[in-house]
Amino acid sequence: MENEKYKTTIGLEIHAELKTKSKMFCDCKNDPDKKSPNVNVCPVCLAHPGVLPTINRQAVEFVVKLGLALGGKIPEHSKFDRKSYFYPDLPKGYQISQYDEPLVSGGILNGVHLTRIHLEEDTGRLQHGSKNSSLVDFNRAGVPLMELVTEPDIKSADEALAFAKELQLTLRYLGISDADMEKGQMRVEANVSVSKGSELGTKVEVKNLNSFQSVKGAIEYEVKRHIEALEKGEKIVQATAGWDTVKGVTYIQRIKENAHDYRYMPEPDLPPLEITADVLERLKRDIPELPSEKRVRFVKEYGLSETQANTLSFDRDIAEFYEETMSEKEKASAELVFNYLTSDFLGLVNAAQITPKESKITPAKFADLLDLVEEGTLNSRKAKDVLKEMWETGLDPHDIKDSVSQITDTSALKETVIKIIEANPKAVEDYKKGKGNSLQFLIGKAMAELKGRGNPELLRKIFEENLN
C-alpha cells in the first residue's frame, strides 16, 4: 500500500534445494520429488542410532560459488550446528544447520545487501490423511538446502518480488538449483514491518510462500494490515504467520521463538570446514556471466533495449542462441534477430517442449534466414513459412525459399492451374455453363496439388484468366 506517512521494511529468508547428486550427509539419491515414498532413504537420513553423517562436498561448493558470485565473504573456517526442535518430519529431533559461522557473509543482489548464506538439510514431508492419520515420506529428508538471508533493505512488495526472481535466475545460471517454486525447490519467507519514524517497526514473518504471486500478495496484505493497526493506535505483535492463498489473507501461527529455543550447539559428528584459497580460485573461475552482467552487455554490445536484454537473460539457452546468431549473421539487425528469436522461433521451441539447441535449426541457418529477410528476399509472411520448413527438415533457408515462395509466384501457380484444368474437363464445362461452385472445386484441387501453399486470391485470378 502506498502511504507517505509510513515506511515499509522487508527482509527475506529464502531456502533453495541444491541440485547435487546425493543428499547432504549420506549417499542417498537427491530426488525429493520421487513419487514412491521412502525410497531414497538409509540409516543416516532416517536417524538410526550410531550412524555418522559425512559432508557433501558438492553442496558446500555450490553455496560458496553462489557467495562468490554475489560478492560475499567466504571465511576460512566454517562449521555445522545442531538446531533442535521436534516435528515428525525431522527424525533426528534436530536439523544440521549453521549458526554462527555460515559459509557466506554479506554480498549483494539487486541492490539488496545479504546478511548470510548457509547450508543445512531439508526435512521429510508429511502427508495428512483422513481419520486423524498422517504419513511420513523421508525422500526429502537430508536433501541439501541453502538458506539466504537478506538485510532489511527492501522497501516494497515489488522490490521483494524482483529480488526473489533475480535469485531464482542466478541459481539457475550457476546450475546450483532449479529453484522451481511450484515444486518447493525455492521457498520464501518474508519479514515485514511498517513504521512511522526512522526506527524499524515490529516485524511479522510470513512463512512458506510457494509462488511469486504469494510473495507479492502476502507482503501487500501485511503492509496494509500494519498500517491499519497503526492508524488505530494498535500495537503489532512480533509473530510468525502463514499465507492463505485461497482467501488471500495472512493468519498468525505463533509468537516467534527466540534463537535459544533451538538450543543451537556445534555438531559433534562433523569436522569443521576449512576452505582453502585454491578451492576458492577454482570456484571463482567456474562462475559464468551472471544475468545482471549479461543484460548490461547486451545493451552495450547489440544496442538492445533494457527490456529486450531482460527478456533474453531469462533463459541462458535463448541468450546463447541469440549471441551465436548475431555472430553468424551478415545483414540482419540486432532487433530483427531479437524479434524472430523471441516470437516465431521461441514459439516453436516452447510448443515442442525442447531447448533451442535441440531444434534442427542451427544459429547459422537462423542467421541466413534473417539475412534473407533483411535484404528483402523474403517478406515476413514467407519467412514464417520458410522457418516452419526449416524447423521440420533442418534444411538451409536458401534451399527452401524458392519452393516456399511459389505460393505467390504467378508463373509457378499458372503451371498448376493449367494442369488442373486439363485433368478436370467436367468441372471446366460446368464452370463455363455458369456453375459458380465448380471454380471453388478447381481451386481446391490446385490447392491440394500445392500442399496448401497456394495464394487463394491469386489462384482464383489465374483460373479466371485461363478458363475463358
Which residues are at the interface with ligand ADP (CB under 6 A)?
9-13, 149-152, 191-193, 200-201, 203, 256, 259
Q: Which does 152 bind (CB under 5 to 8 A by kind): ligand ADP, Zn ion, none?
A: ligand ADP
Dihedral angle computed from the Cα positions of residues 419, 420, 426 and 430, in that order, rounded to the nearest 10 degrees = -120
Closest distance of CB 21 from Zn ion, Å: 13
45: nearest Cα among 32, 33, 57: 32
Q: Smaller CB distance to Zn ion: residue 121 or 166?
A: 121
Nearer to Zn ion by Cβ, of 31 and 178: the residue is: 31
Helix, strand, or coil (residue 129):
coil
Q: Which does 143 bind (CB under 5 to 8 A by kind): Zn ion, ligand ADP, none?
A: none
Nearer to ligand ADP, 239 or 279 (CB): 239
Between 200 and 423, whose beta carbon lies closer to ligand ADP? 200
Residue 28 interacting partner from ligand ADP, Zn ion, none (CB closer than 5 to 8 Å by kind) = Zn ion
Q: Strand pairing of 7-17 and 144-150? A: antiparallel
Q: How far is the CB of 4 from ligand ADP (least distance, A)?
A: 19
Residue 26 interface partner, choices Zn ion, ligand ADP, none, CB cut-off 5-8 Å depending on type: Zn ion
Give the Cα separation of 262 and 93 in Å (integer). 11
Angle between helices 397-405 and 363-374 (to 10 degrees): 50
Which residue, 192 or 427, has its beta carbon nearer to ligand ADP?
192
Nearer to Zn ion, 91 or 363 (CB): 91
When CB distances to ligand ADP are compared, the closest residue is 11
Pick what 11 binds: Zn ion, ligand ADP, none; C-beta below 5 to 8 Å, kind-dependent.
Answer: ligand ADP
In whole angstroms, the minimum distance from the beta carbon of 66 to ligand ADP comes to 17
Told to check if 169 binds Zn ion by CB under 5 A, we report: no
Cα–Cα distance measured from residue 363 to residue 181, given in angstroms and rounded to the nearest whole number: 32
* Close Cβ partners of 7 (under 8 Å, ≥ 6 residues apart): 155, 194, 195, 196, 201
Residue 82, C-alpha cell as written in the block: 545442531
Least distance (Å) between residue 27 CB and Zn ion:
7
Q: Is 42 a binder of Zn ion (CB under 5 A)? A: yes
Residue 150 near which of Zn ion, ligand ADP, none (CB within 5-8 Å, type-dependent): ligand ADP
Distance CA 464, CA 234 (A): 84
Bridge partners (DSSP) of residue 82 are 96, 265
Beta strands, E only, 396-464: none
Q: Which is nearer to ligand ADP, 212 or 262 (CB)?
A: 262
Which option in Zn ion, ligand ADP, none does residue 42 bind, with CB closer than 5 to 8 A by kind? Answer: Zn ion
Q: Which does 139 bind (CB under 5 to 8 A by kind): Zn ion, ligand ADP, none?
A: none
CA distance 23 to 143: 5
**Minimum CB separation from ligand ADP for residue 154, in Å?**
8
Other Cβ atoms less than 10 A from the Cβ of 412: the count is 16
Backbone angles phi, psi at 31, to 5 degrees: -150, 70
- Cβ neighbours around 423 below 10 Å, total: 12
Task: Label residue 239 exposed, middle or buried (CB < 10 Å: 0-12, 13-18, 19+).
Answer: middle
Residue 113 CA to residue 234 CA, distance in Å, equals 31
Q: Mark 373-412 with x for binding to Zn ion (rule: CB under 5 A) and - for no binding.
A: ----------------------------------------
**C-alpha to C-alpha distances, 46 to 39, 49, 57, 203, nearest whole angstrom:** 11, 9, 21, 36
Q: Which residues of 163-198 are buried (b: 16+ CB within 10 A; e: fewer)?
A: bbbbbbbbbbbbebbebebeebbbbbbbbbbbbeee
Does 45 bind Zn ion (CB under 5 A)? Our answer is yes
Smallest gap from residue 193 Cβ to ligand ADP (A): 3
Q: State the minimum distance, in angstroms, from the CB of residue 90 to Zn ion.
A: 14
User: Site map for Zn ion, 9-28, x if CB under 5 A?
Assistant: -----------------x-x
Nearest approach, Cβ of residue 23 and ligand ADP (Å) = 26
Residue 10 or 44 having the CB closest to ligand ADP: 10
For the CB of residue 201, give the shortest distance to ligand ADP in the complex, in Å.
Answer: 6
Q: What minimum distance in Å lies between the beta carbon of 142 and Zn ion?
A: 6
Site residues, Zn ion (CB under 5 A): 26, 28, 42, 44-45
